Amino acid sequence: MERKVRVRFAPSPTGGLHIGGVRTALYNYLIAKRNNGTMILRIEDTDQTRYVEGAEEYIKEALEWVGIKLDESPWHGGAFAPYRQSERKHLYKEYALKLVEDGNAYYAFDTEEEWNEKRKELEAAGIVAPQYNGITRLQMKNSLTLGEEEVKRKLAAGEPYVIRLKIPKKEEISVHDLIRGWVTFHSPLLDDKVLLKSDGMPTYHLANVVDDYLMQISHVIRGEEWLPSAPIHVLLYQFLGWKEVMPQFAHLPLIMNPDGNGKLSKRYADQLGFPVFPLQWTNPEKQETMMGYREEGYFPEVMVNFLVLLGWNAGTEQEIFSMEQLIEAFTIEKIGKSGAKFDINKAKWFNHQYLKAKPNEELATYLLEEAKKQQVSLSKEKAEKVVAILKERITFVKDFLTEGKYLFEAPQTFDEQIAGKKWNQPLVDVLNAYKSALQNHEGAFDAHTAKDLLNKTTDSLGIKFGSVMQGVRLAITGSGTGADLMETIAYLGTEEVGKRIDFSVNNLKVVA
Ligand code: GLU
């Protein structure tokens, strides 16, 4: 029987969710939706020392922003509640005890100091990075070395202990990964991971496997950094008798720094001035604020589109994908094995593509919001015109106000280089004559009329239209480049253009 697809995104609330985490959530979501499955979010907060205030709310908001809808979660509930591991604490111990009972795990009574001592001793003897493993466990205080009576006595006396997984000696542990195929691990290289801590809390490994089992997870889709944990998980499924229902694994390729060196780091991103968080995040302890894609002006659809392509491609030329199209097209088989280089310019390119494809009315609403924030007064009607004139040229909504500054206020300064080259007497003559033509114009005025009048003006003066275009632009906008000039003139209107011509003619010096 085909197994029902149930996938989970299982973040730990230890800070702002990195964009790599958003990509993991997105891949899970796409697999769920494509297969009419269920998307689950589980908060993995067993390590209370790393818990960060506000991180859970941040995760929720970030996923909502990009449009990942959860079917089951701490906030939505579901048949397998609770979805926070700290609220499931009572569930885990019995599995740890079963593992002990079956001889697959053991009690360890060593204190941290005792293990540190041992480690130093081993290091002094030339062992690099000593582990609590098949060899060293025989030299420690645990239920494999102490007599049964002694163990019972210690337990009865309430001495602190942890439960460790008993990694089999010399075995090959094979993990089947949907992206990488079979990956084999040698058991002597693995350490006897702690499963249950002395405070009774499970560690990641135990809680993760128990919950994936209890929540009937069909696919574990997570970052490559978890691949080394996979053999531990496979052993746990085997020891707990759950091999038959073990989820399928898919470990996603890393997102790399733009130069391909190492995993995308905040430090590197800071240097290049781009965010690694979907939303702005303020660390509650340090009160340090980190930039977010949303606040930088990226659209949520862009976030989805560029993140999905970091590690996956449809195998076609298509680059622009809506969430619906991705749900159609996304398959695990097309996820790559090698790390994907992060490219912020590509993200910007996507933002530009999405921006220019949006209806003017929608863009005008965003522009009005932005204008309000920046205390620029603008009517709805004007906003719609501004977006129509500029949308082909800009990347972010906020650029309307900077790139299109000349649409909101008359230039006070002029590009000197261009003025030095173009500001000659014939141009000034054209401008003065054009001003009169504009003043005398009656009736509707649009880009077409603006052009027609300029054409007539240059013709009557016997000057080539093309030779004055940049000068006219300079007079009206202060710069040598910008949106379509005739559209700009039509937008500003005859009166404003007349004023601007006067100001430039009075302020710029004619070159010989
Ligand atoms: N809690 C782990 C994390 O923070 C989950 C890893 C997994 O998906 O198994 O990423």
Q: What is the DSSP string of 38-49?
A: EEEE-B----GG
Q: Where are the beta strands (DSSP E) in 273-358?
A: 281-283, 288-290, 340-341
Domain that holds residue 369: 359-404
Q: How many angstroms is it from 457 CA to the middle of ligand 1?
A: 70
pLDDT digits (tens, 9 = 90+) for 60-116: 999 999 999 999 999 999 999 999 999 999 999 999 999 999 999 999 999 999 999
Instruction: Please state the separation of Cα 199 from the chain's center in Å.
Output: 35
CATH classification of the domain holding 200:
3.90.800.10
Residue 368, domain member (yes or no): yes
Query: Is residue 271 within 8 Å of residue 262, measured between CB atoms?
Result: no
Q: How many angstroms is it from 425 CA to the middle of ligand 1?
A: 71
Tokens matching residue 479: 């710069």
pLDDT digits (tens, 9 = 90+) for 286-328: 999 999 999 999 999 999 999 999 999 999 999 999 999 999 9
The finding on whether 18 has its CB within 6 A of some atom of ligand 1 is: no
What is the number of the ligand 1 atom nearest to the C-alpha of 21? Answer: 10
Which pLDDT value is given to residue 48?
87
Judge if 506 and 390 occupy the same domain.
Answer: no
CATH classification of the domain holding 384:
1.10.8
Judge if 456 and 386 occupy the same domain.
Answer: no
Residue type for 285, please? Answer: E
Q: How many CB atoms lie within 10 A of CB 80?
A: 18
Give pairs for 276-279: CB < 8 Å, separation 24+.
Answer: 276/18, 276/19, 277/16, 277/17, 277/18, 277/19, 277/62, 278/17, 278/19, 278/22, 278/62, 278/65, 278/66, 278/303, 279/16, 279/58, 279/61, 279/62, 279/65
pLDDT-based confidence at residue 392 (cuts at 50, 70, 90): very high
The finding on whether 46 has its CB within 6 A of some atom of ligand 1 is: no
Residue 376, domain member (yes or no): yes
The residue out of 235, 252, 269 marking a domain boundary is 252
Q: How many CB atoms lie within 10 A of CB 506?
A: 7
The finding on whether 47 has its CB within 6 A of some atom of ligand 1 is: no
Q: How many angstroms is it from 244 CA to the middle of ligand 1?
A: 22
The residue to mutate among 47, 208, 263, having the most atoms of ligand 1 within 8 angstroms of its beta carbon, is 208
What is the sign of the dihedral through the CA atoms of 390, 394, 398 and 403? Answer: negative
CATH classification of the domain holding 466:
1.10.10.350
* Alpha helices in 343-464, H assignment, sequence order: 344-357, 360-373, 380-390, 399-403, 405-408, 416-422, 425-440, 447-461
> Is the model's pLDDT at 386 over the cut of 90?
yes
Residue 74, domain member (yes or no): no
228's CB contacts (< 8 A; 6+ apart) are 185
> Is the model's pLDDT at 511 over the cut of 90?
no
Domain count, the chain: 3
Which pLDDT value is given to residue 354?
98
pLDDT-based confidence at residue 1 (cuts at 50, 70, 90): low
Residue where the block lists tokens 């695990």 = 332
Query: Is residue 253 within 8 Å of residue 339, measured between CB atoms?
Result: yes
Which pLDDT value is given to residue 512?
66
Query: Is residue 314 within 8 Å of residue 329, measured between CB atoms?
Result: yes
Residue 305, domain member (yes or no): no
Judge if 454 and 369 occupy the same domain.
Answer: no
Sheet of 105-108, strand order: 105-108, 162-165, 194-196
What's the CA gap between 488 and 444, in Å, rounded? 15
What is the number of the ligand 1 atom nearest to the C-alpha of 9? Answer: 8
The finding on whether 209 has its CB within 6 A of some atom of ligand 1 is: no
Q: How many angstroms is it from 122 CA to the middle of ligand 1?
A: 32
Mean pLDDT within 26-40: 98
Q: How many angstroms is it from 10 CA to the middle of ligand 1?
A: 5
How far CA 64 is from CA of 8, 69, 358, in Å, comes to 16, 7, 21
What's the CA gap between 348 and 311, in Å, rounded? 18
Residue 71, domain member (yes or no): no
Judge if 383 and 416 occupy the same domain.
Answer: no
Query: Is residue 276 within 8 Å of residue 18, measured between CB atoms?
Result: yes
The residue out of 252, 271, 291 marking a domain boundary is 252
Judge if 143 and 159 occupy the same domain.
Answer: yes
Of 69, 152, 169, 266, catalytic: 266
Q: For atom 3 of ligand 1, which residue has the closest CA?
A: 11
The residue to mutate among 6, 213, 226, having the most atoms of ligand 1 within 8 angstroms of its beta carbon, is 226
Judge if 392 and 512 occupy the same domain.
Answer: no
Query: Is residue 458 within 8 Å of residue 430, measured between CB atoms?
Result: yes
What is the number of the ligand 1 atom nearest to the C-alpha of 11? Answer: 4
Q: For atom 10 of ligand 1, which residue has the closest CA?
A: 11
Q: How many angstroms is it from 428 CA to the middle of ligand 1?
A: 68
The finding on whether 212 has its CB within 6 A of some atom of ligand 1 is: no
DSSP 87-134: GGHHHHHHHHHHHHHTTSEEEE---HHHHHHHHHHHHHTT-SS--SST
The residue to mutate among 222, 229, 246, 254, having the most atoms of ligand 1 within 8 angstroms of its beta carbon, is 222
How far CA 485 is from CA of 32, 232, 493, in Å, comes to 50, 66, 12
Percent of the chain with pLDDT over 70: 100
Query: Is residue 434 within 8 Å of residue 501, measured between CB atoms?
Result: yes
The per-residue pLDDT of the chain, averaged, comes to 96
Q: Where are the beta strands (DSSP E) in 191-319?
A: 194-196, 219-223, 248-252, 255-256, 281-283, 288-290
Residue 470, domain member (yes or no): yes
Q: How many angstroms is it from 179 CA to the middle of ligand 1?
A: 18
Judge if 479 and 369 occupy the same domain.
Answer: no
The finding on whether 233 has its CB within 6 A of some atom of ligand 1 is: no
Judge if 446 and 381 occupy the same domain.
Answer: no
Angle between helices 447-461 and 425-440 (to 10 degrees): 130
Q: Is 120 a catalytic residue?
A: no
pLDDT digits (tens, 9 = 90+) for 434-487: 999 999 999 999 999 999 999 999 999 999 999 999 999 999 999 999 999 999
Judge if 136 and 225 occupy the same domain.
Answer: yes
> Is the model's pLDDT at 488 over the cut of 80?
yes
Tokens matching residue 72: 């089951």
Judge if 450 and 436 occupy the same domain.
Answer: yes
The finding on whether 226 has its CB within 6 A of some atom of ligand 1 is: yes
Instruction: Please state the separation of Cα 420 from the chain's center in Å.
Output: 46
Tokens matching residue 91: 């569930």
Which pLDDT value is given to residue 197?
96
Judge if 371 and 455 occupy the same domain.
Answer: no
Q: Can the peptide bond before residue 82 be classed as cis, meaning omega within 30 degrees of 0?
A: yes
The residue to mutate among 85, 177, 204, 213, having the most atoms of ligand 1 within 8 angstroms of its beta carbon, is 204
- Give the total residue count for the chain: 512
Residue 485, domain member (yes or no): yes
The finding on whether 11 has its CB within 6 A of some atom of ligand 1 is: yes
Task: Give strand pairing partners of 38.
Answer: 6
Q: How many angstroms is it from 99 CA to the middle of ligand 1?
A: 22
Among 213, 133, 196, residue whose Cα is nearest residue 160 = 196
> Residue 410: is it exposed, middle or buried by C-beta count within 10 angstroms (0-12/13-18/19+)?
middle
Judge if 231 and 101 occupy the same domain.
Answer: yes
The residue out of 236, 252, 268 marking a domain boundary is 252
Residue 289, domain member (yes or no): no
